[in-house]
């Protein structure tokens, strides 16, 4: 049976915990210190939100209601449109510092897409400000870009220079992607996700990375390099790392790890996975009917982040978003040492997520957390891990 605590005593305890920490406590503080009442008690008795209890205890300003945050978000959109004298693109709206909801959360709350929101609340501005562009305009803009910079910019940078020339226009005029259009004009692109290489160049980049790491690169390694093509490009040309090694006369069996890293596989929905553990995690969410997205960019979730980092998973459970990072090469025991660079990136990533205020929405998974013995099922292991470390109860 739970401990019976009055509302008044619960608020007094909350003030006590605040004074001990010098800040508002989070869920993990309650769990680690075994404080009573627990975190969920406050949500239960204060309209479903812990922050409401903090307000009642005079620890913070009055929280905004959902309606108030929606109204602020719409006003932010209108203010930005008037400043730009046009309908803001998704990228332009996401770049501003939001006091209301970010774009994706606003879409979720209103249950309509961004373009519909703009049509409703920005009637004085034309949604598609690319209507006057022609096929020749696009070709000319790419040629001018190469003449000015000496190379072809990634799509994100090109889009900024050309009023967010959309993928739909590329499809309409060329029936090709941005990268395919650039390639058809005789150019090669520079950048991690948009780079275009010949097979020979791809193999040469892979071999140089192999020499640098002193082991076979994983797909995580490839995607962590700014100046070579993405893992998806390597999959497109070579299917799997073993084929690359054979072409380069690298003894794949000598270097291959039993961890499954660097192995191409697919989840139950046909989604590409970069390792066997990633496939298992994907299948867990599929089996549990939990909505998830993969490879979400940090900058889509964090206003002031300018890095190329991505979350491994983004899931929605019980109407709340969680961000998942799987650190598959952290402290992996083998005959080869995992580079200090990866360990440093892991620690820096966690530190930055704490700084950005997302730490309470993050789930960090390390290999030891989901390692199963012969008598364990992966699903049971994941359920136990989420419950014990993050107090998240996943039910069928």
Which pLDDT does position 334 carry in this prediction? 43
Which pLDDT does position 250 carry in this prediction? 78
The helices-and-strands tally (H runs, E runs) of the chain is: 22, 6
Q: Tell which wins on pLDDT, 152 or 325.
A: 325
State what percent of residues in the chain have pLDDT above 90: 4
Model confidence at 284: pLDDT above 80: yes
Which pLDDT does position 197 carry in this prediction? 65
Angle made by CA atoms 276, 278, 281, in degrees to the nearest 5? 110
Report the interhelical angle of 135-149 vs 167-174 (nearest 10°): 120
Distance CA 280, CA 282 (A): 5
Mean pLDDT over residues 270-284, rounded? Answer: 82
User: 292 and 314 in contact (C-beta within 8 Å)?
Assistant: yes
Residue 165 pLDDT level (bands cut at 50, 70, 90): low
State what percent of residues in the chain have pLDDT above 70: 82
Non-local CB neighbours of 359 within 8 Å, separated by 6+ positions: 26, 350, 353
Contacts 24+ apart (CB under 8 A), 34-38: 36/3, 36/5, 37/3, 37/5, 37/10, 37/13
Residue 340 pLDDT level (bands cut at 50, 70, 90): low
Which pLDDT does position 195 carry in this prediction? 45
Number of residues assigned to the chain:
396
Return the sign of the alpha-carbon dihedral for residues 373, 378, 380, 381.
positive
The arrangement of secondary structure in 265-390, i.e. its CATH architecture, is 3-Layer(aba) Sandwich (3.40)
Domain ranges across the chain = 7-56, 66-121, 135-184, 199-255, 265-390
Which pLDDT does position 1 carry in this prediction? 41
pLDDT in tens, 86-120: 888 777 788 787 778 888 888 888 888 888 888 88
Which pLDDT does position 259 carry in this prediction? 44
Model confidence at 173: pLDDT above 70: yes
Which pLDDT does position 333 carry in this prediction? 47
Residue 281 pLDDT level (bands cut at 50, 70, 90): very high
Rank 57-61, 80-84, 121-125, 273-277 by mean pLDDT and report only the highest.
Answer: 80-84
Which pLDDT does position 112 carry in this prediction? 85
């Amino acid at each position: 049976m739970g401990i019976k605590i009055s509302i008044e005593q619960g608020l007094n305890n909350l003030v006590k915990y605040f004074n001990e920490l010098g800040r508002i406590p989070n869920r993990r503080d309650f769990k680690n210190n075994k404080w009573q009442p627990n975190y969920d008690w406050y949500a239960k008795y204060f309209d479903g939100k812990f922050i409401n209890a903090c307000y009642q205890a005079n620890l913070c300003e009055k929280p905004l209601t959902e309606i108030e945050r929606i109204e602020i978000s719409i006003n932010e959109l209108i203010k930005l449109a008037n400043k730009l004298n046009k309908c803001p693109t998704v990228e332009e709206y996401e770049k501003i510092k939001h006091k209301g909801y970010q774009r994706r959360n606003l879409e979720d709350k209103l249950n309509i897409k961004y373009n519909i929101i703009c049509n409703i609340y920005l009637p004085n501005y034309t949604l598609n400000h690319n209507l006057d562009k022609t096929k020749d305009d696009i070709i000319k803009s790419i040629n001018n870009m190469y003449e000015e910079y000496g190379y072809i910019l990634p799509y994100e940078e090109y889009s900024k220079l050309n009023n967010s020339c959309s993928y739909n226009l590329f499809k309409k005029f060329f029936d090709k992607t941005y990268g395919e259009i650039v390639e058809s004009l005789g150019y090669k692109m520079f950048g991690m996700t948009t780079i275009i290489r010949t097979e020979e160049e791809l193999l040469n980049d892979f071999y140089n990375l192999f020499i640098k790491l002193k082991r076979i690169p994983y797909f995580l390694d490839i995607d962590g390099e700014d100046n070579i093509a993405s893992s998806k490009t390597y999959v497109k040309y070579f299917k799997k790392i073993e084929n690359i090694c054979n072409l380069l006369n690298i003894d794949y069996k000598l270097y291959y790890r039993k961890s499954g890293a660097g192995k191409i596989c697919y989840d139950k929905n046909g989604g590409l996975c970069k390792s066997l553990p990633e496939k298992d995690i994907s299948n867990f969410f599929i089996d549990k009917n939990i909505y998830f997205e993969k490879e979400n960019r940090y900058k889509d979730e964090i206003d002031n982040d300018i890095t190329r980092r991505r979350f491994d998973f983004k899931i929605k459970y019980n109407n709340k978003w969680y961000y998942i990072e799987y650190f598959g090469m952290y402290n992996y025991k083998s005959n080869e040492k995992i580079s200090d660079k990866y360990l440093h990136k892991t620690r820096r990533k966690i530190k930055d997520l704490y700084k950005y205020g997302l730490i309470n929405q993050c789930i960090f998974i390390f290999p030891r957390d989901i390692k199963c013995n012969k008598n364990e099922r992966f699903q049971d292991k994941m359920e136990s891990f989420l419950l014990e470390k993050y107090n998240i109860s996943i039910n069928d």
